[in-house]
Structure 1
Amino acid sequence: MQTNSLESARSLRNLYLVRAVFQLLWAGAVISAALTQPSFASVLLIVYPLWDVACTLYDLSASRPTGSACTSQVINALLGTATAVGIAVTVFSKEATSIAIFGAWALGAGLLQLIAGLIRRKQLGGQWAMILSGAQSTAAGVAFLLGGLSGKLHAKDLGGYAIFGAIYFLIGGVLLSRKLSQVSEVQAQG
């Protein structure tokens, strides 16, 4: 693994681990707030896609992807920003619509994550968790979109989505840590 790839893998591993912790905290907060403080849960719905945008921008600056990997991340950041605006406009008056918007974002972001995982699998390895996460996000996005449009889903229902995402990010971080350890051992021997 080249020095650039090593730095990229380290940054990505750290990002995955931080994302796992944040998503678990967010899930706990949104599940408990949805029952007792719906206004706070509404704010949390706005925060989630903005957090994803911040992570994407960090990833872009740390890994400096090129070609289709860069394009998919830029699209993801724009999609997340538009989602946060859409949720902010609707969440306090039409919660079901905001859930549908969240679902459309999860679907799109899942497809983009799937693409990024497939590209990074060739470059860095250890991306099967991100590939599965992208596929799961896409499926969950369809469910949230349809559930929001029919008025059957609420903010608390999104907590499980974040928990699954956290698990995938944790696995991705551990896999990249293993890969980095293996590379370090080879370099130490060489």
Structure 2
Amino acid sequence: MTTQTPQATQGLRNLYFTRTAVQLVWAVSVIAVAVKNPAAGATLLILYPLWDVACTLYDLKTSPESDSATTRYVNAVLGTLTAIGIGLTVYSHPAYAVATFGVWALLAGLLQLVVGILRRKLLGGQWAMILSGVQSTAAGIAFVLGGLSGKFQIKDLGGYAIFGAIYFLVGGILLSRKR
């Protein structure tokens, strides 16, 4: 197991706070525009997993601990493939796009759970990320089932991002206290 440097901890804390802000803006935007402007909602849906990819790549750069690097690389590939899948379906079959987002949320949640557990050994205080991984996994299942049955729409995904933002805020606060 490698150790986490204070600079890496600070970088991770800053990433968590940035993710909190962007996810809240995304959630408000998707809730506000998805119904009135489906094209804008579709674009926001494509951008969400790409935002996660950008955050994962930044995380890899600032916190390169080997224990979770492979998991984070898998997450980056998964997010990229998800954005492509959503892009291919969102304009013709929005329900499939929601289900694709759900598959991504489920798998990304499992990966986040693994990273949270590994980082807990390294940093401590990762319970918010562990809970976020569990919540994302459960939400992903609901999005797949709800999307395929037509019960969930793009605007309904905003709540998911709000919960994620709360978890990242708590994680950032816990890392701040650790510093």
Q: CA deviation at 1:8?
A: 1.4
Q: Is the 8 A contact 1:27 1:158 kept in 2?
A: yes
Q: CA deviation at 1:4?
A: 4.6
Q: CA deviation at 1:3?
A: 8.4
Q: How does 1:145-164 map to 2 (within 5 A)?
A: 145-164=144-163
Q: How many residue pairs were aligned?
A: 178
Q: How does 1:1-190 map to 2 (within 5 A)?
A: 4-67=4-67, 69-180=68-179
> Highest CA radius of gyration, 1 or 2?
1
Q: Where does the alignment leave 5 or more consecutive residues of structure 1 unmatched?
A: 181-190
Q: CA deviation at 1:137?
A: 0.1
Q: What do the CA deviations read for 1:116-161 (whole angstroms, capped 9, x no partner)?
A: 0000001011100000000000000000011111111100110000
Q: CA deviation at 1:168?
A: 0.2
* Structure 1 consecutive aligned stretches of length 4 or more whose deviation exceeds 2 Å: 2-5
Identical amino acids, percent of aligned pairs: 62
Q: CA deviation at 1:7?
A: 1.4
Q: Is the 8 A contact 2:4 2:122 kept in 1?
A: no
Whole-Å separation in 2 of the counterparts to 1:128 and 1:119: 11
Task: Name the counterpart of 1:185.
Answer: none
Q: CA deviation at 1:35?
A: 2.1
**What is the SS of the residue equivalent to 2:65?**
coil
Q: Where does the alignment leave 5 or more consecutive residues of structure 2 unmatched?
A: none
Q: Normalising by structure 2, report the TM-score.
A: 0.97
C-alpha root-mean-square deviation of aligned residues, in Å? 1.2
Q: 1:102 to 1:15 in 2, by over 3 A?
A: same
Whole-Å separation in 2 of the counterparts to 1:104 and 1:150: 15
Whole-Å separation in 2 of the counterparts to 1:31 and 1:4: 38
Q: CA deviation at 1:166?
A: 0.1
Q: Is the 8 A contact 2:3 2:122 kept in 1?
A: no
